[in-house]
């Protein structure tokens, strides 16, 4: 925010509305709203990187949750049902600058790939017609977070979970993780032990402590209980 205030000649601000590449870090209260107002007043474009959050935290992405109207949105393979593809879209006056209507040329090897596009249409239509699944996934995430944090506390292991809908990251930390520095200060050695123990338990998490984990439509009550049991055995071993 301070950088934008001091440099009004900035063309655009690109932001992950919910950080996912240092683990899940949620925006501070009113940060996105204040950023939008600041950029609008200065004539600066806002670009949302929703490669991770798009169609995942809500059908309308993080911008729907926080009620922000970015000028451009970027998404990844979520719009291809998991197949390799990417997308950017935005306001009409911006998109009309792109060929064939405008002078900006864009092309890519996988642009318009028929398999990825067909898979994406199916997935997006399914989500659109089953919006209740976002509530189901969010409920799953709340239950998992509460159970895991309760067990960690009982075992005396410093552990915090950041989550929204089906995105979550557990940090081995005594303090809240709300920015890059606090994420980097979490205990990586404990995470390495966690990762290896969970593999033994039959659960595969990312080998890096700075990745997001995801709850999917394939996860039901059986998977929830199995995951909680694995966490309990893992925390007891870390004691």
For 188-219, what is each residue's pLDDT tens digit? Answer: 999 999 999 999 999 999 999 999 999 999 99
Q: Which residues pair with 163 in a beta bridge?
A: 168
Q: Are 76 and 88 in contact (CB under 8 A)?
A: no
Percent of the chain with pLDDT over 90: 85
Q: 92, 112, 128 — which closes off a domain? A: 128
Same domain? 191 vs 167: yes
Measured distance between the N- and C-terminal CA atoms of the chain, rounded to whole angstroms: 42
Torsion of CA 187, 191, 193, 199, to 10 degrees: 180
Same domain? 159 vs 93: no
Same domain? 112 vs 176: no
24: domain CATH number is 3.40.640.10
Same domain? 9 vs 121: yes
Q: Are 202 and 44 in contact (CB under 8 A)?
A: no
Q: What is the pLDDT of residue 186?
A: 97
Same domain? 113 vs 160: no
3-state SS, residue 197: helix
Same domain? 190 vs 109: no
Residues 167, 131: Cα–Cα separation, whole Å:
17
Same domain? 23 vs 120: yes
* Tally of structural domains, the chain: 2
Helix H or strand E encompassing 162? strand 160-164
Cis peptide before 100 (omega within 30 of 0): yes
Same domain? 146 vs 122: no
Mean pLDDT across 7-26: 92
Same domain? 117 vs 141: no
What is the pTM assigned to this prediction? Answer: 0.89
For 70-102, what is each residue's pLDDT tens digit? Answer: 999 999 888 888 898 888 999 999 999 999 999
Asked whether residue 109 carries a pLDDT value surpassing 90, the answer given is no
Tokens 């683990």 identify what position? 23
Beta carbons within 8 Å of 200's beta carbon, 6+ residues apart: none
164: domain CATH number is 3.90.1150.10
Q: Which two tokens stand for residue 84?
A: 């390799």
Q: What is the pLDDT of residue 137?
A: 96
Q: What is the pLDDT of residue 202?
A: 95
Q: 128, 156, 172 — which closes off a domain? A: 128
Q: What is the pLDDT of residue 9?
A: 86
Same domain? 201 vs 150: yes
The pairs formed by 119-127 with CB atoms below 8 angstroms and a separation of 24 or more are: 119/80, 119/81, 119/82, 119/83, 120/79, 120/80, 120/81, 120/83, 120/85, 122/81, 123/55, 123/78, 123/79, 123/81, 123/82, 124/55, 124/79, 127/55, 127/59
Q: 102, 128, 154 — which closes off a domain? A: 128
Least confident of 28-37, 44-53, 110-119, 171-180: 110-119
Task: Give the chain's largest Cα–Cα span.
Answer: 63
**Full residue range of the structural domain in which residue 167 is found:** 132-238
User: Residue 2 phi/psi, 5° resolution?
Assistant: -65, -40
Same domain? 124 vs 165: no
Asked whether residue 111 carries a pLDDT value surpassing 90, the answer given is no
Same domain? 118 vs 12: yes
For 27-75, what is each residue's pLDDT tens digit? Answer: 999 999 999 999 999 899 999 999 999 999 999 999 999 999 999 999 9
């Amino acid at each position: 925010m301070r950088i934008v205030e001091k440099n009004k000649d900035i063309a655009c601000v690109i932001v992950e509305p919910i950080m996912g590449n240092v683990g899940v870090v949620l925006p501070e209260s009113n940060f996105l709203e204040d950023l939008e107002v600041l950029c609008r007043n200065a004539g600066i474009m806002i670009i949302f990187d929703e490669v991770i959050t798009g169609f995942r935290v809500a059908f309308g992405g993080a911008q729907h949750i926080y009620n922000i109207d970015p000028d451009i949105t970027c998404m990844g393979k979520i719009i291809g049902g998991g197949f390799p593809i990417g997308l950017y879209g935005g306001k009409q006056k911006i998109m009309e600058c792109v060929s064939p209507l405008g002078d900006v040329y864009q092309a890519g090897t996988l642009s318009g790939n028929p398999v990825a596009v067909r898979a994406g249409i199916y997935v997006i239509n399914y989500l659109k017609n089953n919006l209740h699944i976002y509530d189901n996934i969010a409920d799953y995430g709340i239950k998992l977070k509460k159970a895991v944090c309760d067990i960690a506390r009982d075992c005396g292991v410093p552990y915090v979970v950041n989550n929204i809908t089906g995105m979550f990251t557990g940090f081995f930390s005594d303090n809240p993780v709300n920015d890059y520095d606090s994420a980097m200060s979490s205990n990586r050695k404990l995470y390495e032990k966690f990762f290896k123990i969970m593999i033994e338990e039959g659960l595969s998490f990312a080998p890096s402590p700075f990745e997001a984990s995801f709850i999917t439509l394939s996860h039901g009550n059986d998977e929830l209980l199995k995951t909680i049991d694995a966490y309990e055995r893992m925390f007891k071993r870390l004691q």
